Structure 1
Amino acid sequence: MSSLRTPDPNPGWLSEYALEETRTRVPILYVEAVPARVDGNGQIEHVGVLLRGSATTAGQITRTLVSGRVLHGESIRDALLRNIEKDLGPAAFPRLPVSPVPFTVAEYFPLPGISPLHDPRQHAVALVYVVPVTGECNPRQDALELTWLTPKEALEPSLLADLEGGRGQLLKQALAWSGALI
């Protein structure tokens, strides 16, 4: 005999309490994206950096990249699309890579000093991508603004230092990986 249950309206999401509890015990999987405007040859002309309220320090405004959790049962590709749309709007028109292989894997630790990447809330692992976008980007949800920077502007030490949790290192790696530092 099977029991009848009301389907979960948000499958794949944990309650805030369950998420907080899980974060203390298990690494959480994320995707992060460096939005890019590219020329006809695929060379990066500009990268996008978000301005938003800090995820880790209440009342602080910081710069960051597109990022978000991968939900239970969600493909990496779908997680990338969902989080890009969440942060940049539905008309960003991202061109996702054919293969879901990231340019790097970032590991954030809750204790500072273990790695350059730090998130006091949790141990997190992020698959990081450079994603060209061709449409109109309008920050949504908790993103206040999207700033497009040339590769040279993106490498300014003050900007890199403003990126939350050590993400300045990821931005530098993205530019190097894509050949934009030549």
Structure 2
Amino acid sequence: MFDKHPIFTDVTYKAVSSSYYLVSLVIYVEEMKKHMVFFQAVIKHQTAEKFAFYFKALFKKYAIVSKFFLCILLDFSKAEQRGFQQACEEHFHTDDKSSLSLIKGCYFYWMQSVQRMIKIQRIVPASKSKEFISLANMLQKTTREEQWWWDDHVRPTIFNYDSNMKQELQEHESRTTNGIESFHRNLYGFVEPGF
């Protein structure tokens, strides 16, 4: 199933002891018609090295090979993205550009950042908010070099311009991490606050 559906990752601190983080992965399971958690770990620090260890353990446990791996969909944590790339480079013996082609950024998180910009009326006057959203949507679909996103680790995972994302990944219908976000919402209902 790793070749048909992206895996979604997210990190939460609310479900574990203070100063620890729960890293979870979900994937869509066609037979159940829903996303299911299939891999989790508790980590002490959110560093590229910790994430690399986590993703290498994933690849090893499920004997994942790059030929049959569609992608990962994640937010814009530099440490998480870099850790995933390091794991790919070691496990799949790829270079930095090839490992980046397996990452798709979360459209929902990107649009949240667009909404935050709109709230700062010194940057986007209220009268221009609809135009700003329209331009942001156009930017997401552009293939022209003149339009770009500010951060080198975000731009290739969201925009067609400057992306070496696999074609089937660019065209895949999944574009948010909602599958894992809903898991965390349910998890918080079972975990006692202030654990």
Q: TM-score, normalised by structure 2?
A: 0.24
Q: By percentage of residues, which structure has more strand?
A: 1
Which of the two has greater helix per residue?
Answer: 2
